[in-house]
A and B are shown apart, each in its own frame.
Chain A
Amino acid sequence: MSDFSSSLTKGALHGGRAEDTVSPPMARYNDADVRDWIALLKPRVMSLVVFSGLIGLIVAPGHLHPILAFTAVLCIAVAAGACGAINMWYDRDIDAIMRRTRQRPIPAGRIEPGAALGFGITLAVGAVLMMGLAVNHVAAFVLAISIAFYVFVYTMWLKRRTPQNIVIGGAAGAFPPLIGWAAVTGSVDLIPLVLFAIIFIWTPPHFWSLALFANDDYRRAGVPMLPVVAGAKETRRQIVIYTLLLVPLTLGPWLLGFSGLVYAAAESVLGVGFLVSVWRVAVDRQDASGVSLTNDAPARTAFKFSIAYLFVLFAALAIDHFVGRVV
């Protein structure tokens, strides 16, 4: 390991930042393209956030003018992007080490860290203000809480300190349905809290599947993800446990009488599929220390399946909502 990466690793393992002891790569900030600024917003993460926020908005009782609904979704998207930009600003030292992230605009030297931070803060403040002024104050408040949770609790506090980082930090990604619901109703009720809980419990198996096959990256960067701290075997066990908790939880909307058979059928099929997927992760061929002998193929499949799982589950909830209106 080079001096550069080893000093970074020490910093990250102690929950701190190491950039004070090393210089960032040679910067050519004028190289920033529009695509680099868009990349700061983590558009792929944003898509799932926007989708779940939209579902919260669709299934909420009541009516919101389409222009205001569009504004609410835009605010959720912009806030998610702002979180991504601030996260990339804070994590630029570990991003420079990990193969998966080293080409991001800041570690690659195409965007100045301070500019990325300013961009993120401006978008975050703008999104909350716009939500408050155009939609309602409850939605703006929940949006502000979600941003603060992602930036301060997950990124700055938990991520470098505990293997439970994405368990607790998963709450940050669980807020969108709550925000969408609040945008329509001006309140927070039991159903959006169940949707919040579903994403909250879904996050660990989703993220730990990624962490299994990105283990080397996280180890090099000193991020205490569960496979780094507790090993691959324990991580596989935890993935199964959380999925076993998730599947009955997804029955919540149906048991509470909020959704019908379309959702119940989709939930059952998806649940079985997810359980099979994580079971394959658990029984993956591995050596004595738990290292996969299949290049973590089942974990890669489970990671992809988990994304499709949440998309389809929430889509089924929305379809059920429309079916319920028609029938």
Chain B
Amino acid sequence: MAHPPRMTDAEAAEFRRRQKARNIAILVVLIGLSVLFFAITIVKMTHT
């Protein structure tokens, strides 16, 4: 069975850097959405 070519150390480090940046971006979006949903809920509850 053929194995995919191994990444060099530099490529692996770059891959991890990009992965970390993506993870942080997703975290920021999820926190932002949680805060927004909470705020919308409060507004809906107090204005209806």
Give the B-binding residues of A (Cβ under 8 A): 30-34, 37, 65, 67-68, 70-71, 74, 134
Q: How far is the CB of B30 from chain A (nearest CB, A)?
A: 13
Interface residue ranges, B against A (CB under 8 Å): 15, 18, 21-22, 25, 36, 39-40, 43-44, 47
- With CB as the reference atom, state the residue of chain B lying closest to A70: B36
Rounded to whole Å, the gap between the CB of B5 and the closest CB of chain A is 12
For A33, list chain B residues within 8 Å (CB): 18, 21
Q: Which residues of B contact A32 (CB under 8 A)?
A: 18, 22
Interchain CB contact under 8 A, A71 and B15 = no
Q: Which residues of A contact B21 (CB under 8 A)?
A: 33-34
Contacts of A70 in B (CB 8 A): 36
Listed by A's residue number, 15 A-B pairs whose Cβ atoms lie within 8 Å are A30-B15, A30-B18, A33-B21, A34-B21, A34-B22, A37-B25, A65-B47, A67-B36, A67-B39, A68-B40, A68-B43, A70-B36, A74-B36, A134-B40, A134-B44
What is the interface of chain A mostly: helix, strand, loop, or mixed?
A: helix
Partner of A65, one of B15, B22, B36, B43: B43
B-chain residues with CB within 8 Å of residue A31 when the two chains form the complex: 18
Residues in chain A near residue B47, CB distance under 8 A: 65
How far, in angstroms, from A320 to B5 measured CA to CA in the complex? Answer: 63
Chain B residue nearest to A110 (CB atoms) is: B18
Contacting pair A67 B40 (CB below 8 A):
yes
Closest to A33 in B: B18
A71 in contact with B40 (CB, 8 Å): yes
**Chain B residues closer than 8 Å to A37, beta-carbon distance:** 22, 25
Bound together, the chains give a CA A40 to CA B38 distance in angstroms of 28
- Closest beta carbon of chain A to B22's beta carbon, Å: 6
- Residues of chain B with a CB closer than 8 A to A71's CB: 36, 40
CB-nearest residue of chain A to B22: A34
Look across to chain A and name the residue whose beta carbon is closest to the beta carbon of B36: A71
Residues of A within 8 Å of B39, CB to CB, are: 67
A67–B43 Cα gap in the complex (Å)?
Answer: 8
Complex CA distance for A41 and B46, rounded to whole angstroms: 34
CA of A198 to CA of B12 in the docked complex: distance in angstroms?
A: 52
Q: In the complex, how many angstroms separate the beta carbon of B41 from the nearest chain A beta carbon?
A: 9
Beta-carbon nearest neighbor of A32 in chain B: B18
B18 contact set on A, CB distance < 8 A: 30-33
Q: Which residues of the other chain, B, contact A134 by a CB distance below 8 angstroms?
A: 40, 44
Q: How far, in angstroms, from A34 to B44 measured CA to CA in the complex? A: 33
